[in-house]
């Protein structure tokens, strides 16, 4: 009989940084373990409604994404300097985050901590509690490899420097906030300001499909690419009557949505999308919940929605235009649909390159360089090229037979980190 363990999952970011970890939490709970998720306060009802205990991390992190500096960074304009200006605003939030993560762990007393790379306190808390810590990420980039550059740098490959880019990104948060972390370690954890040795996770989980990014041959056996952690339970969702009528037209529409990306100029972007769809002769379903698109610019060839479960919505589409978030990309690939990626920032260009390499969509173009003509041509290619459709179908079939959550739990057991 499996002995129940207390497992804490620490994560920070937008919904795409929370939803996969909730899927893992549900799998752990089903396996008989007691699970806590520490995440931004905005996600409390999302987590608690699924029966998982919740601990609050600062809500101000998501509000920071709506600042002009954050919008400039995500739009790709002057992102480097904008990102450094954001550091000044993040520092007080980061200090609150450290305290909140420690408060959650002190109450829960986990025997295992699984953490998102942005949960910068987790490894230090594991040192304090003498429990193992496992890094879990929806994208590669935290385990050195010569196979490709870190997804967080704007290069496909830097040859002999590839390994260095992964190491630099893995330790960047500590390097940037060393003083703040040291003060917190001393005053709240009652540890030395600096760890005696570099803190490394006992194991690393990557929550994407090896069919999408193959496992590099130089990764150690403490690293697992498990498959995506898809959240189930949305099977009861059905399109409302208007959406149902729209998708039942002569040809399946194209999905267009940019997730949680904040709107920089949503009017212009929406007009561009409407024009591109018209030029391509396609109908579109536009998701406006994140703010990057507007829902009040009516046109007969589009239908606006606030949002819908990707697992149920994407199979109704002919192709998916989106920002290239790891979760959205995975959901579109699982549905067997061509992807047209218009990245904003971060790892999104990396997923755009993977779509191109896999031949399941046209080459990506950053959102600030979009034009209606380019997007219309990309939509026409994605929906009209039978080779792209066939590859997308085959990849979707491969992903649908994976069970990333079960694979992750099995791997943790094989590493003797979980009963």
For 366-386, write each residue's pLDDT tens digit. 998 999 999 999 999 999 999
Question: Which region among 81-85, 132-136, 153-157, 323-327 has the lowest average model confidence (pLDDT)?
Answer: 81-85
**6-138+171-228+402-414 and 241-400 share one CATH topology?**
yes
Mean pLDDT to the nearest integer, 286-290? 90
pTM of the model: 0.94
Task: Identify which of 294, 291, 316, 318 has the alpha carbon closest to the alpha carbon of residue 304.
Answer: 294
Task: Identify which of 349, 353, 344, 356 has the alpha carbon closest to the alpha carbon of residue 382.
Answer: 356
50-91 residue pLDDT tens: 999 999 999 887 777 767 666 666 555 444 445 555 666 778
The answer to whether 404 and 227 have CB atoms below 8 angstroms apart is yes
Task: Identify the pLDDT of residue 90.
Answer: 77
CATH code given to domain 241-400:
3.40.50.2000
pLDDT, the chain, mean: 92
Distance between CA atoms of residues 4 and 333, nearest Å: 35
Q: Which superfamily does 6-138+171-228+402-414 belong to?
A: Glycogen Phosphorylase B; (3.40.50.2000)
Distance between CA atoms of residues 8 and 115, nearest Å: 8
Mean pLDDT to the nearest integer, 333-354? 95
Task: Identify the pLDDT of residue 11.
Answer: 97
In the chain, pLDDT over 90 holds for what percent of residues?
A: 79
Task: Identify the pLDDT of residue 379.
Answer: 98
CA atoms within 13 A on the CB side of 281: 6
Mean pLDDT to the nearest integer, 396-403? 98
* Domains in the chain: boundaries: 6-138+171-228+402-414, 241-400
Residues ≥6 apart with Cβ < 8 Å to 387: 359
The answer to whether 264 and 291 have CB atoms below 8 angstroms apart is no
12-44 residue pLDDT tens: 988 999 999 999 999 999 999 999 999 999 999
């Amino acid at each position: 009989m499996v002995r129940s363990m207390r497992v804490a999952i620490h994560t920070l970011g937008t919904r795409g940084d929370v939803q996969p970890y909730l899927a893992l939490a549900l799998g752990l709970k089903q396996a008989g373990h007691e699970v806590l998720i520490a995440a931004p306060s905005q996600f409390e009802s999302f987590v608690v409604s699924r029966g998982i205990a919740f601990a609050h991390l600062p809500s101000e992190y998501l509000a920071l994404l709506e600042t002009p500096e954050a919008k400039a960074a995500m739009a790709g304009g002057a992102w480097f300097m904008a990102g450094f200006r954001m550091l000044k605003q993040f520092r007080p939030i980061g200090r609150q985050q450290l305290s909140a993560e420690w408060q959650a762990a002190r109450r829960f007393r986990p025997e295992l901590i699984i953490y998102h790379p942005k949960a910068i306190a987790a490894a230090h808390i594991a040192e304090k509690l003498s429990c193992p810590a496992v890094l879990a990420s929806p994208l590669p980039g935290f385990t050195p490899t010569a196979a490709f550059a870190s997804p967080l740098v704007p290069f496909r490959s830097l040859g002999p420097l590839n390994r260095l880019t992964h190491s630099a990104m893995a330790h960047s948060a500590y390097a940037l906030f060393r003083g703040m972390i040291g003060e917190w370690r001393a005053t709240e954890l009652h540890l030395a300001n600096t760890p005696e040795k570099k803190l490394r996770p006992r194991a690393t989980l990557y929550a994407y499909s090896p069919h999408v990014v193959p496992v590099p041959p130089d990764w150690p056996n403490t690293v697992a690419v498990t498959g995506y952690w898809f959240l189930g339970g949305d099977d009861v969702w059905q399109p409302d009557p208007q959406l149902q009528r729209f998708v039942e037209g002569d040809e399946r529409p194209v999905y267009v949505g940019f997730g949680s990306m904040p709107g920089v100029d949503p009017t212009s972007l929406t007009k561009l999308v409407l024009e591109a769809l018209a030029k391509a002769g396609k109908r579109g379903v536009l998701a406006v919940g994140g703010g990057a698109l507007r829902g009040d610019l009516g046109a007969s060839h589009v239908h606006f929605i606030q949002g819908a479960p990707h697992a149920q919505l994407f199979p109704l589409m002919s192709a998916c235009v989106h920002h290239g978030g790891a979760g959205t990309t995975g959901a579109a690939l699982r549905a067997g649909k061509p992807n047209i990626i218009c990245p904003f920032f971060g790892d999104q260009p990396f997923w755009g390159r993977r779509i191109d390499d896999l031949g399941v969509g046209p080459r990506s173009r950053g959102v600030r360089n979009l034009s209606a003509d380019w997007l219309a041509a990309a939509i026409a290619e994605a929906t009209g090229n039978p080779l792209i459709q066939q590859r997308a179908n085959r990849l979707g079939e491969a992903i649908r037979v994976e069970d990333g959550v079960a694979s992750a739990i099995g791997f943790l057991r094989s590493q003797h980190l979980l009963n």
